[in-house]
C-alpha cells in the first residue's frame, strides 16, 4: 500500500509518500510547496493546488491522508490554513481520492511521540521509523507522519479513501 500524506499550510505545504510492505514502512518520496507571503492568497492557493496535483499524478498512491482541522490560537491563521486544506482536499478529489483525515494528536501518538510533542520530536521519530534522513522543512516530516498514521490506523486501508 502506498500512502500520500499532506500537511497543508498557506506558506509551506508538505507532502510525503510511504509504502507499507509486509508490515514494514518504506520511504518513497517527499517534498514541499513553498509560496511567497507577498503573493495574493489566491495565487498561493493555485500554487499549492497545482503542486499537489502534479505530485499525486506522479506517484498514483493507493490512499491519501491529510491533517484534520484543529483549534488554532489565531482565527486569521486558522482561516488561511482552512484555505490551504481546501485546495489540498480539492486536488486529492480531482485525482479520484477521498482523503482520510487525522488530527495532530493522533498523528503524534501514532509515530511514537507524545500528544504534545514538538515538530523536532515528530521529525526524529519519523526518520527513525523510515530509516532515512528526510530533507526539507518540518512540514515534510509532518506529512510523512500523517502517511504513517494512516498505515497504522487503517483497518481496511483501501476502503473509502481511494479512487
Q: Active-site residue among 43, 67, 118, 142?
A: 67
Is 142 a catalytic site residue? no
> What are the distances in angstroms from CA 113 to CA 6, 13, 43, 123, 148?
19, 22, 35, 10, 13
Here the cell at position 81 is 490554513
Q: Active-site residue among 7, 19, 43, 76?
A: 7
* Residue 29: φ, ψ to 5°: -170, 165
Q: Is the dihedral of CA 15, 19, 23, 25 positive or negative?
A: negative
Is 139 a catalytic site residue? yes
| Residues 6+ away with beta carbon under 8 Å from 117 | 108, 125
* HSE-CB for 78 with a 13 A CA cutoff: 8
Here the cell at position 64 is 491519501
Is 7 a catalytic site residue? yes
Active site residues: 7, 67, 139
Amino acid at each position: 500500500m502506498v500512502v500520500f500524506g499532506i500537511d497543508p499550510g498557506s506558506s509551506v505545504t508538505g507532502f510525503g509518500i510511504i509504502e507499507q510492505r509486509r508490515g514494514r514502512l518504506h520511504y518513497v518520496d517527499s517534498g514541499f510547496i513553498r509560496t511567497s507571503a507577498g503573493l495574493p492568497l489566491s495565487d498561493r492557493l493555485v500554487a499549492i493546488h497545482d503542486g499537489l496535483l502534479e505530485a499525486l499524478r506522479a506517484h498514483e498512491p493507493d490512499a491519501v491522508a491529510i491533517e484534520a482541522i484543529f483549534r488554532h490560537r489565531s482565527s486569521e491563521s486558522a482561516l488561511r490554513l482552512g484555505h490551504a486544506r481546501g485546495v489540498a482536499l480539492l486536488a486529492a478529489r480531482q485525482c479520484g481520492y477521498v482523503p482520510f483525515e487525522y488530527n495532530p494528536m493522533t498523528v503524534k501518538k501514532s509515530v511514537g511521540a507524545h500528544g504534545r510533542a514538538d515538530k523536532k520530536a515528530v521529525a526524529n521519530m519519523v526518520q527513525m521509523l523510515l530509516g532515512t534522513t528526510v530533507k526539507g522543512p518540518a512540514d515534510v516530516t509532518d506529512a510523512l507522519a500523517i502517511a504513517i498514521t494512516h498505515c497504522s490506523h487503517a483497518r481496511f486501508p483501501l476502503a473509502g479513501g481511494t479512487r
